[in-house]
C-alpha cells in the first residue's frame, strides 16, 4: 500500500465486467487490478490486496475454488465478495463456508457495488484515532484533521492540512516538491509544482509568527523544524 489506497483485485472472465468494475472503483479512490481468469490471478502475489471480487462462474477454476485456494493454500483472510448470477441456496451456502463476506448478484448497480465494497473494507479495517504530538508545541489530530499550535487550532484547508501534517509528523525531513505532490495530491493529479509553493505560503500565513517553522532548503525542498 503505497499511498494509503485500498487495493482490490477483480477476477471475471468477461472483459466488460472487469472494465466496469475497474472504472467505477478507481473513481471511488481504490486501486484496482483485474484478471481475466482464476489461473492468471493465482500467478499474482495475492497477499497485497485488501479485497477480492470473484466471479463465481468462470473457466475451469470457479470463483468458489479460487476463494478456497486463497483461504486454504495461501492462508489469507482477505475479504471476498462473490459476483454471481446464480442465487440458489446451494450456492450461498458454498460461498459462506468459504468465508465469503458478501454476494453481489449480476446484474448489479454501480451504487450497490460501491456500497458493498465500502462496507466490507470499513469493517475489516477499523478507523484509527491517532494523535501525534511534536516539538514546537505543535499537535496533529489525524481523526479530526486538526493541527494545534500552543493548544489553539490553525484553520487549514484540506491540502494545507495534509502538507503541514506531513511536515510535522516528519519534522526535519526534507520533502522535494515532487515528494509533496505525490503524497498530498496523489500520482494521477497533475499540477504545477509551483502550486506547492503557493500552498505553503498560505500555510505559513495562517501559522502567523510560527510560519517560519516551515523552512526551505534552496534546490531541495521544504521541511519543518529548527
Partner DNA sequence: TTGGTTTGTAACATATTTGTAACAATTTTG
Partner DNA sequence: CAAAATTGTTACAAATATGTTACAAACCAA
Is residue 43 a contact residue for DNA (CB under 7 A)?
no
Set of cell numbers at residue 177: 516538491
The answer to whether 61 and 38 have CB atoms below 8 angstroms apart is yes
List 77, 97, 125, 216, residue binding DNA (CB under 7 A) = 216
Q: Of 106 and 209, which CB lies nearer to its own copies in the complex structure?
A: 106
List 16, 144, 150, 209, residue binding its own copies (CB under 8 A) = 144
CB of 190 to its own copies, least distance (A): 5
Residue 42: CB atoms within 10 Å: 16
Q: State the burial class of residue 102 (Cβ atoms within 10 Å of its Cβ: 0-12, 13-18, 19+).
A: middle
Restricted to residues 25-54, the positions that interact with its own copies (CB under 8 A) are 39, 42-43
Crossing angle for the helix pair 110-124 and 15-27, to the nearest 10 degrees: 60
H helix intervals, the chain: 15-27, 38-42, 63-68, 89-97, 110-124, 158-169, 177-180, 194-207
Residue 3 touches which of DNA, its own copies, none (Cβ within 5-8 Å per kind): DNA
Which residues contact its own copies by CB under 8 A? 39, 42-43, 59-60, 73, 93, 96-97, 99, 101-102, 109, 111-112, 115-116, 118-119, 122-123, 126, 143-145, 157-158, 172-174, 178, 182, 187-190, 217-220, 223
Which residues contact DNA by CB under 7 A? 1, 3, 157-160, 177, 185, 189-192, 194-195, 197-202, 204, 216-222
Amino acid at each position: 500500500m503505497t499511498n494509503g489506497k485500498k487495493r482490490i483485485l477483480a477476477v471475471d472472465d468477461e472483459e466488460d465486467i472487469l472494465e466496469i468494475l475497474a472504472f467505477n472503483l478507481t473513481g471511488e479512490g481504490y486501486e484496482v487490478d483485474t484478471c481475466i481468469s482464476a489461473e492468471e490471478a493465482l500467478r499474482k502475489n495475492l497477499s497485497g490486496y485488501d479485497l477480492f471480487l470473484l466471479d463465481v462462474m468462470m473457466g475451469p477454476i470457479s470463483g468458489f475454488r479460487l476463494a478456497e485456494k486463497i483461504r486454504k493454500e495461501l492462508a489469507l483472510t482477505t475479504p471476498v465478495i462473490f459476483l454471481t448470477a446464480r442465487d440458489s441456496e446451494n450456492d450461498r451456502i458454498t460461498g459462506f463456508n468459504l468465508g465469503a463476506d458478501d454476494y453481489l448478484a449480476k446484474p448489479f448497480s454501480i451504487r450497490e457495488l460501491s456500497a458493498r465494497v465500502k462496507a466490507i473494507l470499513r469493517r475489516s479495517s477499523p478507523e484509527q484515532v491517532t494523535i501525534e504530538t511534536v516539538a514546537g508545541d505543535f499537535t496533529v489530530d489525524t481523526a479530526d484533521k486538526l493541527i494545534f499550535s500552543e493548544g489553539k487550532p490553525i484553520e487549514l484547508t484540506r491540502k494545507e492540512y495534509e502538507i503541514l501534517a506531513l511536515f510535522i509528523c516528519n519534522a526535519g525531513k526534507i520533502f522535494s516538491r515532487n515528494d509533496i505532490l505525490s503524497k498530498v495530491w496523489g500520482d494521477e493529479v497533475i499540477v504545477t509544482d509551483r502550486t506547492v509553493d503557493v500552498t505553503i505560503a498560505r500555510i505559513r500565513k495562517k501559522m502567523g509568527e510560527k510560519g517560519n517553522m516551515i523552512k526551505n532548503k534552496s534546490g531541495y525542498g521544504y521541511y519543518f523544524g529548527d
